[in-house]
Structure 1
Amino acid sequence: MDAPSAVLQTSEIPIADDPVVLIFGSLYILMILAIGVWGYTKTETLSDFLITGKSIGTWVLAITVFSVVQSGFGFVGGPELIYAFGTTPIWIFGTAPIGFLIIWLVIGKRMRMLADIRDVLTLADGMYARYENDWVRGLTGITVIISVTGYLATNLAALQYVMRAIFGIPVAMGLLLGASVLLLYSVIGGMIAGVWTDFIQGITMIIGAILVFFYAVSFGGGVRNISENLAASDPALISPFGALGGITALSWWILFSVGGIGQAHTITKFYMIKDIKLLKWGAPIAAISYGISSLLAFTTGLSMRAMVEAGNIQALESASETMPIFVLNYAPSIVAGIVLSGLLAAIMSTSDSFLNIAAAAVTRDIPRALGRPIEDDQVEFRVTQIALVGVTVAATLIVHFSSALVGILGVIGWGLFAASFFPVVALGLNWKGATAPGAIAAIVVGLLLNIVYEVLPTAFSTFGMGSLAESISATYPFPETLVVGTAAMLISTIVLVVVSLVTQSEYTVPADIKPLLEQ
């Protein structure tokens, strides 16, 4: 299929000189800001701002949870990783739906019950209720800030490419403008605006993914032709475990299925549902929605790589361009408009979730852990809005100075959450034997392992200190193909169990939390 004349390839990222795409993009930004204004009229307290005042139902919860997980990581990072490594990332996107079932089964009901038992607005609030320890609260808040800053950078990194593709502005300007709109929307709308935008963009992502699936398969000449072209170039690209091999594939499977329980921006959504009885059908809705939306990542990544290997198109300057280039060059305008505009909304509404939990960690979780809470609800509300600015600026700077792939940033962010919080939440809400010292040790170990072996090497490489990054990576005690986040999650889980067993005689579960653990 020839590239339509509406696409101008004057740089490595194509620009849509197409009124349909421009209209869709402009309307989505206006819609985001309009929902933000509407959310402002519904937001009167910090509870409204952070957890919507427990007002959402089954479909909104399920679609919101799936779309928050998918967002820029799935729609830009997914095609990017599959283009770069073949079928290995399918062990993320093909098995992640299992994670939704695990989340709902293991902690969904218990997280919602916490919101009835105690005044919880954040993950740190919930973990303090379970362990009644300020160190647990404070370390949870610190970990949220670190993890969210990196994970938010994933979405902003995707956002700059989407802004470039839709509006034709330089990447740096796309990052700045996108971050500014995000900040405005988040400050005025809070989580009420976020969940409804998540719901709308989730539906849009499903529709867009189905459309792209058919165009991508056709573009690659059919499934058989795609497979033959990839196999002729490198059989590993379409092997069961892909170019990165079995250990990495299985590591990603564990991290993105079981590790979903540790994602603070996802599991705190359970506080928001208006009736605990409405949880029943949320898991299959979220799982099926995620599976359908992942069709975009599979087909665009494999088709684009197959056509490159066949010599039919030029190799991409960066794997991060896979999705924007495909929808603008090889899909109809209406499809490009739907996908890019839906992704624009997805990135911003998902980022809104990150900003809210990070800002709350700064103004609520850490001060309370230090014994210096902000007593006035309205003051805490306004200070939380101000904290949004600092988190946004930090994440924007990370993207501006980092050359890491969007997908890799996403894996790092997910790994930080999973390693630090999976054992504390999953075991803590299901095992009476989990103790505060065990939780503290697990968070510290999970956080440090990720920082030392994932965050620091990536940062040093970005700033031209490759030898230092290699020196640190050389001390990694496991095979390099074992994903750091997975190793850290498994080790932190063992640490929580061992330390808890040693300290059980010194700790008792709070009386009002015991019935929750018996559910």
Structure 2
Amino acid sequence: MIAPSYPLQASEIPVADDPVVLVIGSLYILLILAIGVWGYLRTDTLSDFLITGKSIGTWVLAITIFSVTQSGFGFVGGPELIYTFGLTPFWIFGTASFGFLVTWMLLGKRMRLLADIRDVMTLPDGMYARYESNWVRGLTAVTIIVAVTGYLATNLAALQYVMQAIFGIPVLWGLVIGSFILLLYSAIGGMIAGVWTDFVQGITMVGGAVLVFVYALSFGGGPQNISENLAAADPALVSPFGALGGVMALSWWILFSIGGLGQAHTITKFYMIKDIKLLRWGAPIAAISYGISSLLAFTTGLSMRAMVESGNINALESASQTMPIFVLDHTPSIVAGLVLSGLLAAIMSTSDSFLNIAAAAVTRDIPRSLGRPIEDSQLELRITQATLVGITLAATGVVYFSEALVGILGVIGWGLFAASLFPVVALGLNWKGATAPGAIAASVVGLSLNIIYEVLPTAFSTIGMSSVAESVSATYPFPQTVVVGAAAMLLSTIVFIVVSLATQSDYSVPADIRPLLEQ
């Protein structure tokens, strides 16, 4: 067996030898922990811990959903993917705003009404209410646990770079210390702390992205110079579909626009809004905020790659260094401090959302699907908080041993959610003909395809079994340029519709849920 390497721990990036960046970073961590303590003081029940007791308004909801989506995946993984593949990731970051509009239109009102009709706190709760099937509840919970482990790893992988950039500690210690702070913050603060941290860092991300956009264009010599340098090196980098081509771009567009309706960590936030009438303006606020913040990914990735190709700067050891290196070396201290600290908060709050839904899946949803719920609500809350530890350790292990790029880890996690949950949730809450057997079949197909063709090859490659990984990947039934998550989402949707049509005579929508589907 070939010994695996650990590039995420070996790469070097500049350290902010600047008191301004250090002070801003330290203050941000203190702010995060303070919000965590404040959240703890307001958390008396599991409902408070998981859905904030339905207490948030339009702006907080919109900024929270946008920032949870962007997070470490967008601010570290985005520049990384664009630096590596040119304009192909435009079909992720340039079109995901459309997904916010669709999500709000198809799910916002229905998810919030569901929280009034039934006592739901998690997505599996909601899907049990819709289908009245413990199999659907259990499969939804398993999907969340598997997807969150990989998706949380995306944010921890970004976190280690940010910790090193701000505080000058080795990347490995950045991972360990950052994970510990995250665990402490999440365990005490719950979703209340996460939502308000999301709001603060979302505002910071939008402001920082605008500033970085201006500096990045200037650094690259303007749009024309950037394009010419990239085209001279490889015309595909600046072609409409980038270096990975049209099929990959289309796959990413499908996955990140429509697939947004299956992202458990965002759609469950609709449970939290205090008044359903406040949903109206949330979609444009979230979409515009996401679009502005994505300017950072595009200009940073393209400018850095253009300057490398023109010989003005050295090639990066790792594409994951793109954003930290740019803001530290090519922006003023105050901008670097705000961007890196905002990213630190983004990672913490987004990871908090992941940890909460995964811990609830372990301690609330799976036991209920097996007919063995934890009856004492306080005990259930404490066990949920304790479960955060195991999930954090698992995700930290994925980061330490994985060779995958931050952005690729994000694509895998997003694809797993989209393929397994999009038909079950989005179609299920909009189509009376959806049935429990259809939901079960779709969940199995989506989950299985992603595990077989994304999770297993990545795991085998990481432990040095590359030949096994290649053998598994060779059985993939679609062209290699078709993203697994997109193919799995389309296939699971077809299966969902076909099986639902075949079983409609044996299934009826619960009486209290039927009016919701008619909204």
State the TM bucket, normalised to the shorter chain: over 0.9
Q: Which amino acid aligns with 1:297?
A: A
- The equivalences for 1:140-179 within 5 A come to 140-179=140-179
- The equivalences for 1:336-485 within 5 A come to 336-485=336-485
Q: Which amino acid aligns with 2:402?
A: S
- The question of whether the paired residues in 2 share the 8 Å contact of 1:12 and 1:316 is answered with no
1:81 corresponding residue in structure 2: 81
Deviation at 1:459, TM superposition (A): 1.2
Q: Which amino acid aligns with 1:89?
A: P
1:25 corresponding residue in structure 2: 25
Structure 1 outlier segments of 4+, above 3 Å: none
1:279 corresponding residue in structure 2: 279
Match of 1:294, SS state, is helix
Task: Name whichever of 350-359 and 458-467 sits farther off.
Answer: 458-467
- The question of whether the paired residues in 2 share the 8 Å contact of 1:150 and 1:409 is answered with yes
Q: TM-score of the superposition, structure 1-length normalised?
A: 0.98
Q: Distance in 1 between matches of 2:34 and 2:107?
A: 34
1:231 corresponding residue in structure 2: 231
Match of 2:410, SS state, is helix
Q: Distance in 2 between matches of 1:450 and 1:496?
A: 16
Q: Distance in 2 between matches of 1:499 and 1:226?
A: 51
Q: Distance in 1 between matches of 2:134 and 2:460?
A: 33
* 1:219-246 CA-partner distances (Å, limit 9, x unpaired): 0011000000000000000000000000
2:222 corresponding residue in structure 1: 222
Deviation at 1:11, TM superposition (A): 6.9
2:93 corresponding residue in structure 1: 93
Q: Which amino acid aligns with 2:489?
A: M
- The question of whether the paired residues in 2 share the 8 Å contact of 1:420 and 1:447 is answered with yes
2:60 corresponding residue in structure 1: 60
Deviation at 1:403, TM superposition (A): 1.2
Q: Distance in 1 between matches of 2:11 and 2:481?
A: 34
* 1:152-210 CA-partner distances (Å, limit 9, x unpaired): 00000000000011111011100000000000000110000000000000000000000
* 1:424-480 CA-partner distances (Å, limit 9, x unpaired): 011100001100000000001000000101111111111111111111111111110
2:7 corresponding residue in structure 1: none
Q: Distance in 1 between matches of 2:464 and 2:243?
A: 27
Q: TM-score of the superposition, structure 2-length normalised?
A: 0.98
Structure 2 residue runs without a partner (length 5+): 1-9
Q: Which amino acid aligns with 1:106?
A: L
- The question of whether the paired residues in 1 share the 8 Å contact of 2:67 and 2:290 is answered with yes
User: Relative to structure 1, is the Cα distance of residues 165 and 84 closer, same or farther in structure 2, using a 3 angstrom cutoff?
Assistant: same
* 1:267-296 CA-partner distances (Å, limit 9, x unpaired): 000000000000000000000000000000
- The question of whether the paired residues in 2 share the 8 Å contact of 1:106 and 1:426 is answered with yes
Deviation at 1:381, TM superposition (A): 0.5
Match of 2:121, SS state, is coil
- The question of whether the paired residues in 2 share the 8 Å contact of 1:226 and 1:303 is answered with yes
Q: Distance in 1 between matches of 2:79 and 2:106?
A: 30
Deviation at 1:12, TM superposition (A): 2.5
Q: Distance in 2 between matches of 1:14 and 1:89?
A: 26
- The equivalences for 1:178-327 within 5 A come to 178-327=178-327
User: Relative to structure 1, is the Cα distance of residues 11 and 513 closer, same or farther in structure 2, using a 3 angstrom cutoff?
Assistant: closer
Q: Which amino acid aligns with 1:38?
A: W
Q: Distance in 1 between matches of 2:145 and 2:458?
A: 18
* 1:381-413 CA-partner distances (Å, limit 9, x unpaired): 101000111100100011011111000000000
Match of 2:138, SS state, is helix
Q: Distance in 1 between matches of 2:91 and 2:140?
A: 29
Match of 2:12, SS state, is coil
2:135 corresponding residue in structure 1: 135
Match of 2:349, SS state, is helix
Length, aligned pairs only: 510
1:487 corresponding residue in structure 2: 487
Q: Distance in 2 between matches of 1:137 and 1:491?
A: 21
Q: Which amino acid aligns with 2:50?
A: L
Structure 1 residue runs without a partner (length 5+): 1-9
Q: Distance in 1 between matches of 2:234 and 2:466?
A: 28
Q: Distance in 1 between matches of 2:274 and 2:330?
A: 43
Q: Distance in 1 between matches of 2:425 and 2:138?
A: 15
1:508 corresponding residue in structure 2: 508
Deviation at 1:104, TM superposition (A): 0.3
Q: Which amino acid aligns with 1:285?
A: I
Q: Distance in 1 between matches of 2:83 and 2:456?
A: 26
Q: Which amino acid aligns with 1:50?
A: L
Superposition CA RMSD, Å: 0.8
- The question of whether the paired residues in 1 share the 8 Å contact of 2:86 and 2:238 is answered with yes
Q: Distance in 2 between matches of 1:466 and 1:369?
A: 37
Q: Distance in 1 between matches of 2:74 and 2:451?
A: 23
1:3 corresponding residue in structure 2: none
2:35 corresponding residue in structure 1: 35
Q: Distance in 2 between matches of 1:219 and 1:11?
A: 24
Match of 2:509, SS state, is coil
1:72 corresponding residue in structure 2: 72
1:5 corresponding residue in structure 2: none
- The question of whether the paired residues in 1 share the 8 Å contact of 2:115 and 2:271 is answered with yes
* 1:87-141 CA-partner distances (Å, limit 9, x unpaired): 0001100000000000000111000000000000000000000000000001111
Q: Distance in 1 between matches of 2:81 and 2:256?
A: 15
Match of 1:16, SS state, is coil
Q: Distance in 2 between matches of 1:41 and 1:268?
A: 23
1:517 corresponding residue in structure 2: 517
Q: Distance in 2 between matches of 1:28 and 1:459?
A: 35
Q: Distance in 1 between matches of 2:334 and 2:221?
A: 22
- The question of whether the paired residues in 1 share the 8 Å contact of 2:11 and 2:318 is answered with no
